[in-house]
Each structure stands twice: as C-alpha cells, then as structure tokens.
Amino acid sequence: MTTTPGSSTPARRKVVILGGGVGGITAAFELSRAGWQEHFESITLYQQGWRLGGKGASGRGVDDRIEEHGLHLWLGYYENSFRMLRECYEELHRPPGEPLATIEQAFERASHFTVLERRPDGWLPWRASFPEDAGMPGDPAARLPSLYRHPPRRDRTARRHPARSGLVVDRSPQRGADTAAKRAR
C-alpha cells in the first residue's frame, strides 16, 4: 500500500484483471475473499465480448445446440480447480431442485475417453482409461498423495508401461486386422 500525499492513511489500490478466462476469474475470486476491501479500493475484471470462460466458454447456438470454444475436459487431478468450484457452489447457496444445484450435478465422471487423430488413411482412435476411486476431486476431506510416495519418475513409467501405472492407452485402429497388419509390415 502507498500513502496518499498529505495523509497518513494508506491508499488502497485498484486492481484490474484483463481477461475472463479461468485464470482471470480465479484471480478475481481469490482476491475478493472476505475482507478484500481492507486491501483494495476495487477489483475490476475486463473481458473482450460478453461471454466469460476463455477457452472453457460455451453457449447455445442455432436450434439450442451447445457450442464450445475449447476442450471441456476437467481431469480429476485438477484439485485446486475443483476446490475453488466447490467454494463457489457453497457461496451460491442454490436450492435443491435448481439445475446444476451442486458441483456433483455439474460434472459427470468419465474415466474412459477417446480422441481421434486424422491420418491419410482414416481416423486413428486414441483411447484412455483412468482408474477410479470413490472420491471426488477437490474434496477438502480427501488426503492427496504425497510426491514423496509417488515421485515424478512414475510419469516415465506410464509412458513405457501404461498398464503398470494404472493408465491404459489403446491406440489400435477400429478398421480391422488387415489395416493393422499392413502397418506392422
């Protein structure tokens, strides 16, 4: 804080956040916690256009079809993101029965997914399956695994031996054995 000339009272700063994507919204949320007025005169978020969300934005288009701006895939290890969303839902106090009244209603567990890669001879599916547990990401009662128990070298193991890491990736095409056999030659 700085002091106003001719005054001993510290001047509170004005905060400006540029962009309403996940980073900008997170900054605004964290800076505006209870008591923020003691530190800042104002917190203003500027967004180009009317829609917040950045690459995570979506809306409705022709015939009420959902139109997305980016990949909408939240992986379970985004603990801080889910923690913040849980706090947002707690502050919203949505009554039961309203659409997406809880964070559990807003997210659907999906432990298996496929991404397609376009190749000259057709589409190649990349399938991944992730292990499940009973927990939900961002649960404050959950105890996160320690990096000391799961050192970074596990990532190298996952690339070399996906089955041992719990991650299963299947890159086999669905075009039949003839195509797979031709590739093997």
Segment 78-103, tens digit of pLDDT: 888 889 999 999 999 999 999 889 98
Range with the poorest average pLDDT among 6-15, 67-76, 93-102: 67-76
User: Are the CB atoms for 23 and 12 separated by under 8 Å?
Assistant: no
Q: If pLDDT is split at 50, 70 and 90, which confidence band does 2 have?
A: low
The dihedral region occupied by 100, where left means phi > 0, alpha psi between -120 and 50, and beta the remainder, is: left
CA distance 152 to 165: 12
Kindly state the average pLDDT of the residues 134-158. 64
State the pTM of this model: 0.62
| Across 48-64, average pLDDT | 86
Compute the distance between CA of residue 115 and CA of residue 137 in angstroms, rounded to an integer: 23
pLDDT, position 58: 81
**Distance from C-alpha of 29 to C-alpha of 47, rounded to nearest angstrom:** 15
- Residue 185 or 64, more confident: 64
pLDDT > 70 fraction of the chain, expressed in percent and rounded: 70
Query: Is pLDDT at 48 greater than 80 in this prediction?
Result: yes
> How far apart (Å, rounded) are the C-alpha atoms in residues 172 and 180?
8
Question: What is the residue-wise DSSP string for 94-156?
Answer: PPTTSTT-SHHHH-----EEEEEEEETTEEEEEEEE----S--TT-TTSPPPPTTTS-THHHH
pLDDT, residue 138, reads 83
CA angle 119–121–122, rounded 5-degree value: 65
Give the separation between CA 27 and CA 33, rounded to whole angstroms. 10
Instruction: Please say if the pLDDT value at position 108 is more than 90.
Output: no
Task: Give me the chain's average pLDDT, please.
Answer: 78
CA distance 92 to 70: 26
- How confident is the model at residue 3, as a pLDDT? 62
C-alpha to C-alpha distances, 87 to 38, 91, 94, nearest whole angstrom: 21, 6, 12
- Which pLDDT score is estimated for 132? 80
Domain assignments of the chain as residue spans, ordered by start:
1-67
What is the model's pLDDT at position 177? 41
For 118-144, write each residue's pLDDT tens digit.
999 999 999 888 888 777 888 877 776
